[in-house]
Amino acid sequence: MAGIIELKGLSKTFGTGENQVSALKNVSVSVEKGDIFGIIGLSGAGKSTLVRCINLLERPDQGSVLFHGKDLTELKEKELRLQRRKISMIFQSFNLLDQRTALDNICFPMELEGVPRKKARQRAKELLETVGLPDKADAYPVQLSGGQKQRIAIARALASDPEVLLCDEATSALDPKTTGQILSLLQTINKERGITVIIITHQMSVIEQICNRVAILDSGEVAEIGDVVDVFSNPQSQAGRRLVSPNVAEPALDWDIPIARIAFNGSVSEEPVIARLVTTTGIPVSIMGAATRNVDGKAFGTMLISLPEDPGKKKEILDFLNGCQGVSAEEVTEHV
């Protein structure tokens, strides 16, 4: 199946001579309709350049940008403008019009399309509800917090009824709690409106929380691309491993109780496993430490739990854990 957005062989070079930077090198990515597609990479990897090539804010030197199979790079300016209305974008710095109220900001894309003012305001009010800020219609951007500004920007992006939403580091200027809220808002929008979301980020946690597919960008090249679960559980590339490498939980030297290390490889979520362990065996354990990463509700990484002294009970626990799919457990001996 052809994706809603297909980038084929994109290359982009900035500058000349000594200052020449190859921001993109033969990048090909296919995004399916309904995806929440993450593009992750270190700063300077070319993520922003890539996402800006999708709506041609940046023109690639080579390659094509297919939207519904149509190459946007070949369109006349006027046609391109019409297509851009179907591909909205939100930014790290929000980019709201400072001299307009929140409501008028949301009306802006509808004004561009010539939607009658009354109708536009009506729809803008609905969108304010959607993003959870119905009482901020008359607020100016300066009166809003970062998270609120991004919500207004999202409402504005939805105003043109887009099929795709591009997010360039949309949560990078926000604190973790607000980031979480904005991400769930994006997820809701994706589910309820069927809008394909493309998220650019340098934060693993963002991809983990909402993406189903991911591309890892490394120095302008796609290092790896696939389902988030696959890429994160078993990264094939150097860049992928560097990003994902789940830290190993290490027991402290002075713990003088038996400890088991449980490794999760992503087939299950850790909470039910521990809960079932306790209810099935009837032996209480405490979690001593964890370095797990939740991807799509599945756990990766390791966890340390306390074991009873009794060898029989010890074995019962280890057997139970090793019997669970995607989990392996062993007693840690190195710390005693």
Partner 1 sequence: MFDLFSDAAKVAQQMEIICSEYGFALWETMYSLLLEVLFSYVIGLPLGVLLVTGEKEGIRPLPRWLMTVLNAVINLLRSVPFLILMIIALPLSKLIVGTKVGTAATIPPMVIAAFPLVARMVESSLREVNQGVVEAAQSMGASALQIVGKVLLPEALPSLISGGTITVGTILGYGAMAGIIGGGGLGKMAINYGYYNFKFLVMWAAVIGLIILVQVFQSAGTRIAVKCDKRLRNRS
- Among residues 38, 60, 40, 15, the alpha carbon closest in space to that of 218 is found at 40
Is residue 47 part of the contact set for ligand ADP (CB under 6 A)?
Answer: yes
Q: Which residues of 70-104 are buried (b: 16+ CB within 10 A; e: fewer)?
A: eebeebeeeeeeebbeebbbbbbebebeeeebbbb
Is residue 212 part of the contact set for partner 1 (CB under 8 A)?
Answer: no
Site string for ligand ADP, 82-111 (x = CB under 6 A): ------------------------------
CB closer to ligand ADP, 222 vs 277:
222
Q: Which residues of 142-156 are buried (b: 16+ CB within 10 A; e: fewer)?
A: eebebbbbbbbbbbb
Residues 6+ apart with CB under 8 A from 38: 199, 200, 201, 206, 207, 211, 213, 214, 215, 228
* Beta pairing, strands 62-67 & 5-14: antiparallel
User: Which among ligand ADP, partner 1, Mg ion, none contacts residue 91 (Cβ within 5 to 8 A by kind)?
Assistant: partner 1
Is residue 14 part of the contact set for ligand ADP (CB under 6 A)?
Answer: yes
Residue ranges in 76-105 that form contacts with partner 1 under rule CB under 8 A: 80-85, 87-89, 91, 93, 95-100
Tell the smallest beta-carbon distance from residue 5 to ligand ADP (Å).
Answer: 17
Q: How many residues sit in the footprint of partner 1 (CB under 8 A)?
A: 30
Helix axes 270-281, 311-323, angle to 10 degrees: 140
d(CA 232, CA 214): 9
Is residue 15 part of the contact set for ligand ADP (CB under 6 A)?
Answer: yes
Is residue 23 part of the contact set for ligand ADP (CB under 6 A)?
Answer: yes
Is residue 7 part of the contact set for ligand ADP (CB under 6 A)?
Answer: no
Residue ranges in 110-139 that form contacts with partner 1 under rule CB under 8 A: 111-113
| Residues contributing to the site for ligand ADP (CB under 6 A) | 14-15, 21, 23, 41, 43-49
| Residues contributing to the site for partner 1 (CB under 8 A) | 55, 57, 80-85, 87-89, 91, 93, 95-100, 108-109, 111-113, 140-143, 160, 166
